[in-house]
Amino acid sequence: MIEKRENTSIIPGVLGKKEKHLRDSLLQQILNIPGGESIKKCIQCGCCTGSCPVSYMMDITPREIIALFRAGEIESILSSRAIWICASCYACTIRCPQGVQVTDILYALKRLAIDQKIFPKRFPVYALSESFVSLTNRFGRSYEPGLILLYFLKTNPLKLLGLVPLFLKLFFKGRIGLLPKKIKGRETFSRILREAEIMEMVVPVQES
């Protein structure tokens, strides 16, 4: 049975409009990764999946992600949980017999997902990731009450109420504070982050 899908075009050799847009944005990201080109050399051996300590929890395997990318199915990658499960241990990258920068490619995919706002259903890990990163960038270290607040505001604000008793218990035992702790030299830290973002071309360089 042939299922007509929105993404596929009927013109030979031409991708659907949305898929083409995704592919172009992703390629731009991947080409910024040193060695990112090697994604073309993948021989689909699955050594990445075998090396991955968390692949058993992924709905699609790292190898499959590359296969889907080649097959013009980037949207199905972005709507899978796999890229958000990666624990960044880089075992796949080290063992890859073709030098594919698997972990870095997964990061590129995560950025693409955030840019395009395409996320897996009922799996708001990206929200946790976003919240964590924004707080760490601000204070230079993790700020737990803020993280909980931000995460649940983004995903399920009602659940926050249920957490109040636990919070109080932790608070009175001195396990959790109210105010964030900041690091010294936050200015410098944000400059470093800014530079890193420019280097990764996450943000366009602004002419001053």
Partner 1 sequence: MKDNNNDIKIGVYICHCGSNIAGTVDVEKVTNLAADAPHVVIAREYKFMCSEPGQDFIIKDIKEKGLNRVIVASCSPLMHEPTFRKACEKANLNRYLFQMVNIREQCSWVHKDIKSATEKASALINAAIRRVVYQEPLETFKVNVNPNTLVVGGGIAGIQAALEIAESGNKVYLVEKKSTIGGKMAKFDKTFPTLDCSACILTPKMVSVAQHENIELLSYSEIEDVEGSIGDFKIKVRKKARYVHDNCTSCDECTKVCPVQIPNPFDENQSFRSAVYKTFPQAIPNTYVIDKEDRPPCRETCPIGQEAAGYIGLVAQGRFEEAASLIREQNPLPIVCGRVCYHPCESECNRKFVDEPIAIKNIKRFVIDWEMNQYGGPKPPIIEKKRSEKIAIIGSGPSGLACAHDLALKGYEPIIYEKLPVPGGMLAVGIPEYRLPKKLLNSEIDYIKGMGVSIKTGIALGKDFSIKDLFKQGYKAIYIATGAHKSLKMKIPGEEEFVGVYHGVDFLRNINLGNSQPVENRVAVIGGGNTATDAARTALRRGAKEVTILYRRTRKEMPAEEAEIQAAEEEGVKIQYLIAPVEVLGKSGKVVGLKCINMELGEPDSSGRRRPVPLEGSKHDLGFDMVIIAVSQSPDIEFVDDQTNFKLSKWNTFEVNQETLETNVQGVFAGGDVVKGPATVILAMGYGKRAAEAIDKLINKKPMRDFKTHINKILPERDENSRPHSYAPKFKDTLKKPRIKMKELDPKTRCTNFEEVELGFSEEEAKQEAARCLNCGICIECHACERVCEAKSIDHNMKDEIIEINVGQVLITTGFNTLNCNSLIPYGYGEFENVYTSLEFERIVSSTGPTQGNIVMKNGKEPRAIGIIHCVGSRDINYHPYCSRVCCMYALKFAHLIKDRTKAEVYQFYIDMRSFGKGYEEFYSRILEEGVNVIRGKVAEVAKFGWSNNGDEPLIVRCEDTLIKKYREIPVDMVILCNAIEPQPDAEKIQRLFSISRSPDGFFLEKHPKLDPTATATDGVYIAGCCQGPKDIPDSVAQASSAAARILANISKEEIEVEPIQAYIDPELCAGCRLCNNLCPYGAISFDEEENISKVNEALCKGCGTCVASCPSSAATAKHFSDEQIFAEIEGILE
Instruction: Give me the residues that bind partner 1 (CB under 8 A), please.
Output: 43-52, 55-56, 60-61, 63-64, 91, 95, 97-99
Residue with smaller CB distance to partner 1, 56 or 172: 56
Residue 90 is given by DSSP the state -
Question: Tokens standing for 156?
Answer: 């399920």
- In the block, tokens 């601000």 appear at 138
Question: Which residue type sits at 112?
Answer: L
Instruction: Give the shortest CB-46-to-partner 1 separation in angstroms.
Output: 3
Instruction: Give the shortest CB-71-to-partner 1 separation in angstroms.
Output: 13
Residue with smaller CB distance to partner 1, 51 or 131: 51
Residue with smaller CB distance to partner 1, 55 or 131: 55
Contacts of 115 (CB under 8 A, 6+ apart): 25
Residue with smaller CB distance to partner 1, 34 or 204: 34
> Is 138 strand, coil or helix?
helix
Judge residue 180's burial from the number of C-beta atoms within 10 Å of its C-beta, 0-12 exposed, 13-18 middle, 19 or more buried.
middle
Instruction: Give the shortest CB-53-to-partner 1 separation in angstroms.
Output: 10
Beta strand extents in 27-162 (DSSP E only): none
Using CA atoms, how far apart are residues 140 and 182, in angstroms rounded to an integer?
A: 6
Q: Half-sphere exposure of 126 toward its Cβ, with a 13 Å CA cutoff? A: 23
| Under 8 Å between Cβ of 18 and 26 | no
- What's the alpha-carbon Rg for the chain, to the nearest Å? 20
Residue with smaller CB distance to partner 1, 47 or 148: 47
